Amino acid sequence: HPSYECWLQYEPVKNSGRANEYRSWCARLVVSEQGEVLNTAVDELRSGIRRMLGLRPAIAAELGPSKQIVIGTAASVLLTPDEREEASDLPEDGYFMRTVSDERGERLVIAGRAERGVLYGCFHLLRFLALGEETEELHIIETPKHRLRMINHWDNMDGSVERGYAGQSIFFDQNKFVADRGRIADYARLLASVGINGLTINNVNVHEVESKLIDDSFLNDVADVAGTFRLYGIQLYLSANYAAPITIGGLTTADPLDPSVGAWWKGAAANVYAHIPDFGGFVVKADSEHRPGPFTYGRDHAEGANMLAEALEPYGGVVIWHCFVYNCMQNWRDRKTDRARAAYDHFKPLDGKFKDNVILQIKNGPMDFQVREPVSPLFGSMDRTRHMMEFQLTQEYTGQQRHLCYLVPQWKEALDFDTYAKGEGTPVKSLIAGITAVSNIGNDDNWTGHLLAQANLYGFGRISWNSELSAEGIADEWARMTFGAEPKVAETVLDMLVRSWRIYENYTAPLGVGWMVNPGHHYGPNVDGYEYSLWGTYHYADCVGIGVDRTRETGTAYSQQYFEPNASMYDTLETCPDELLLFFHHVPYTHALRSGETVIQHIYNTHFDGAKQAEGLVAVWRQLEGLMDESRFAEVLERLQEQAEHAKEWRDIINSYFLRKSGISDKLGRMIY
């Protein structure tokens, strides 16, 4: 089933010149060592070669006289002093891939610093084959920009997936692990093909049953699944319940400073490591959205996290601690309270107090994965604390995989954002220890519900490996690997992907204000859905104006959490970028944007445009009929049609709301007050 294969289609190479070139290398694979991950790499290469070139490569331990591929870890395959020197600089997951020709023969060497690098190198070569790249003269050195490249699942053991839009969990069903682990292995393979090296399998909101993943109730199963991922170089982590000493330990407290609590966690960690020696560590969401945490005992988050870190330290494990901490019961009458401020207010004062094996996990924006947000000001503000970026692959607020929204451009903006933390040229990507993202997959046949949402998973892996890659380049690669080289298909899909974020933004909440969604499930328009709730997510629209005043003088002063010149840039009406205007300022509907358009006219225009653009997506997709298999064509068409219809609903609800609130007609006459 081609949608299940994602970007690893391994279609036969059509260009016969290229196919011959590849066959000349691929007839012989020289492998002189054994290892779990290395064997995975060799198997993958063999099967890819077989499927793309119709060739069964011979496996040999020694170099032969003709062309060949040599695979292995740096220590064992390196033949020339040059190569040896290159390899000595490689980080743990790095690899090189180069062609060499000398008296010992002609060879294409794929050498990893460790086995994981070998696996990545093999996937790299297979990508080259799938994309028809030239392989005669290779000299590629790849080192990941981020050491930790992770996926977080929000899967519950009953089989449901919090914010999941692609079916049920592939790990759990009816409070047990699924019996058939085949799909888990297929998933591990997909993740490894784009360089992911860590993952959590259970929801950050850890309920009672999932608390037991760290004790004998489930550890054998966890270890088994960890073993599947290990073959692909992926380390397993678990989300842990801060109150576990009470819920499963029988203690009366979870106070991090109570010695019995520390001792309990040490015992729990010892047991986990006895089952899974390379266990990654715990991911913890504490004191957030009704989750338990150190606040209950009057302790701060450094005290809370450090106690867990101590338990994991002897084994090299880490605590990944969520910064998504805010008061979800706040008093909305007070205009000075601001949820956007919360993460910084909570964590900045703790900088330097965390142990070395604590990594803070910070969402890309200060709110919660909206279609447009500024970058969280915590990035750059904590130079004595390791921290990592969290993105959301699952499209909770970006169309729930019923709408097309390619998110890589959004992530690129966040990673490239200049924090000015150490003067000009301190982008977020230079400050972080890793990147993680909330998974968008489930047990749907095509993994991601919307087939084109596979591009987000692919793109996340690629960008977490190399944040310098362009969003367009990644989309192009993905389109060609997924649908084949037919230029019309690849070009059309690329074009759809790169325009999709803006299209979605056009017909949903305007100018960075966010949150105009139905409460609870967050799908579809509802302008006032959260306006009077305690969750702290407002737009403050009335008959005069709209937007949240986060300025220094008259607002919540959130703008001041940034370094200069960002603080002033956002704070000043004239310099604040249009797309974030309503995130930072409350303005009259007649306020002229930098684009020259008034706010109200911008709302009308973008909503009419966006709905039309969504319709346009259906039209361009229709032109691909017959150029790919019928089933993939049809499943995407169905989603795009739904999007086009739903975009009209968004357009009409948002536009008529603001028409009535403002009393101002559309200057193009589409709506008259």
Tell me how far CA of residue 285 lies from CA of 20, 288, 294, in angstroms: 53, 7, 11
- CB of 172 or CB of 483, closer to ligand BDP: 172
- Residue list 499-558, contact with ligand BDP (CB under 6 A): none
Could you say which of 368, 476, 477, 505 contacts ligand BDP (CB under 6 A)? 368
- CB of 476 or CB of 505, closer to ligand BDP: 505
- CB of 338 or CB of 368, closer to ligand BDP: 368
Burial of 176 (0-12, 13-18, 19+ CB in 10 A): middle
- CB of 285 or CB of 585, closer to ligand BDP: 285
Beta pairing partners, 73: 112
- Residue list 280-309, contact with ligand BDP (CB under 6 A): 285, 289
**Total residues at interface with ligand BDP (CB under 6 A):** 10
Decide if 271 contacts 223 (C-beta within 8 A): no
CB of 324 to ligand BDP, least distance (A): 5
Which residue sits closest to ligand BDP, CB atoms considered? 368
Decide if 543 contacts 662 (C-beta within 8 A): yes
CB of 391 to ligand BDP, least distance (A): 11
Residues 6+ apart with CB under 8 A from 646: 402, 403, 524
What sign results for the dihedral spanned by CA atoms 654, 326, 390, 373? Answer: positive
Query: What are the b/e assignments for 268-285, b being 16+ CB within 10 Å?
Result: bbeebbebbeebbbbbbb
Burial of 359 (0-12, 13-18, 19+ CB in 10 A): buried
CB of 628 to ligand BDP, least distance (A): 34
Decide if 452 contacts 493 (C-beta within 8 A): yes
Could you give the angle at the alpha carbon of 434 between the alpha carbons of 430 and 436, nearest 5°?
Answer: 130
Token digits for 67? 């062309």
Residue 265 near ligand BDP by CB under 6 A: no
- CB of 195 or CB of 294, closer to ligand BDP: 294
- Residue list 476-495, contact with ligand BDP (CB under 6 A): none
- CB of 77 or CB of 204, closer to ligand BDP: 204
Residues 6+ apart with CB under 8 A from 11: 51, 52, 130, 484
Catalogue the active-site residues. 289, 368, 396
- CB of 141 or CB of 329, closer to ligand BDP: 329
CB of 163 to ligand BDP, least distance (A): 5
Q: Residue 581 is which amino acid?
A: L
Could you say which of 265, 279, 326, 369 contacts ligand BDP (CB under 6 A)? 369
Could you say which of 32, 205, 271, 443 contacts ligand BDP (CB under 6 A)? 205
Decide if 56 contacts 80 (C-beta within 8 A): no
Could you say which of 210, 255, 396, 635 contacts ligand BDP (CB under 6 A)? 396
- Residue list 116-175, contact with ligand BDP (CB under 6 A): 162-163
Tell me how far CA of residue 121 lies from CA of 89, 146, 147, in angstroms: 16, 17, 16
Tell me which DSSP letter residue 170 carries. Answer: S
Distance CA 522, CA 525 (A): 8
- CB of 520 or CB of 596, closer to ligand BDP: 520
CB of 408 to ligand BDP, least distance (A): 19
Could you say which of 218, 324, 347, 658 contacts ligand BDP (CB under 6 A)? 324
Distance CA 578, CA 562 (A): 18
CB of 155 to ligand BDP, least distance (A): 12
CB of 379 to ligand BDP, least distance (A): 17
Cα 556 to the chain's mean position, in Å? 30
CB of 369 to ligand BDP, least distance (A): 5
Binding site for ligand BDP (CB under 6 A): 162-163, 204-205, 285, 289, 324, 368-369, 396
